[in-house]
Structure 1
Amino acid sequence: MKHTAGRKATPQPIADAIRTVPQPPKHFPPAAKAEWKRVMPVLVERRVISVADLHAVERFCEAAADIVDARAAIAQYGAYVENRLGELKRNPAFATLREATGESRRWAAELGLSPSSRSRAGVHEDQDADDDSPLSM
């Protein structure tokens, strides 16, 4: 018996896949909307997302926005900030950055958006390339 604990399911085209890119949720901050607009066309083209799976894409995009916010806070306030006693402490935004990065990585793997998850799925961006395209020469 082959050990498969911890392995992600291989994203495969599904029968009830979303065929057009839906609008991002209205409550999304700008960074989450930008990530939605970047990844949803890819997922729709691969036919791996159904309406029931949209929550996974939403969580991925929210994690991406959290990363942007944490980096902005670090850039604005610095790597170290003073606590109420005047002592220098590492900016708490680093904890948010670490958590959001981990969350983003997990959702990317679930959605087939990381290089390793694409290789497991056998997804190659140039599979459908025309013979006339510059990539197929």
Structure 2
Amino acid sequence: MSHHTRGRKADPKPADNAIRKVPKSPAYFSDAAKAEWKRIMPILVERRVLSPADLHAAERFCDAAGDIAAARTAIASDGAYINDRHGEMKRHPAYATLREATAESRRWAAELGLTPASRSRVTAEAETNDDDDDSPLAV
């Protein structure tokens, strides 16, 4: 385990230029990644924690979800153990992908406030009423 990933993560806070509408998922996404995008993006948009610059993090999280689904499908299809080129039984290579994608997913989930611990730190402010812009204090 790398030392730079340990410890407390930055608290996700409402972004000043938060995305207000769920953007379309990237075209290259697998079906599983698109499904994850559709699941998490409304949550993140509602919490106002994503700016346009943060979309990369959400994309990587969904990519990892797609990789997890593909690895599980390969293992389910081929079995947990397969014969290698020498005819010896070996654990399916998709387990390495599954392990790496799961770790990647966990890291991005924490950054996005999608884990129970990180979600408890999210302090998104309530939506302000558009009529408040007419107040003398509005900038």
The TM-score bracket by the shorter chain reads 0.7 to 0.9
- Measured after TM superposition, the shift of residue 27 of structure 1 is 1.1
TM-score relative to the length of structure 1: 0.84
- Measured after TM superposition, the shift of residue 120 of structure 1 is 3.0
* Cα distance in structure 1, aligned partners of 2:52 and 2:97: 29
Tell me the equivalent position of 1:26. 27
Tell me the equivalent position of 1:98. 99
Tell me the equivalent position of 1:9. 10
* Cα distance in structure 2, aligned partners of 1:96 and 1:83: 17
* Cα distance in structure 1, aligned partners of 2:121 and 2:13: 11
Unaligned runs of 5+ in 2: 1-5, 127-139
SS in 2 for 1:89: strand
SS in 2 for 1:81: strand
- Measured after TM superposition, the shift of residue 36 of structure 1 is 0.3
Is 1:81 matched with 2:87? no
- Measured after TM superposition, the shift of residue 122 of structure 1 is 5.5
Instruction: Write the letter of the residue equivalent to 1:77.
Output: D
Tell me the equivalent position of 2:134. none
Q: Answer 1 or 2: higher relative contact order, Cα 8 Å, separation at least 6.
A: 2
TM-score relative to the length of structure 2: 0.83
Native 8 Å contact 2:61 2:104 kept in 1: yes
Tell me the equivalent position of 1:62. 63
Tell me the equivalent position of 1:37. 38
Task: Provide the alpha-carbon RMSD of the alignment.
Answer: 1.5
Percentage of identical aligned residues: 68
- Measured after TM superposition, the shift of residue 66 of structure 1 is 0.2
- Measured after TM superposition, the shift of residue 76 of structure 1 is 0.4
Tell me the equivalent position of 1:132. none
* Cα distance in structure 2, aligned partners of 1:97 and 1:78: 14
Q: How many residues align?
A: 120
- Measured after TM superposition, the shift of residue 7 of structure 1 is 1.2
Instruction: Write the letter of the residue equivalent to 1:39.
Output: I
Instruction: Write the letter of the residue equivalent to 2:89.
Output: L
Unaligned runs of 5+ in 1: 128-137
Stretches of 4+ aligned residues off by more than 2 angstroms: 120-123
Native 8 Å contact 2:32 2:65 kept in 1: yes
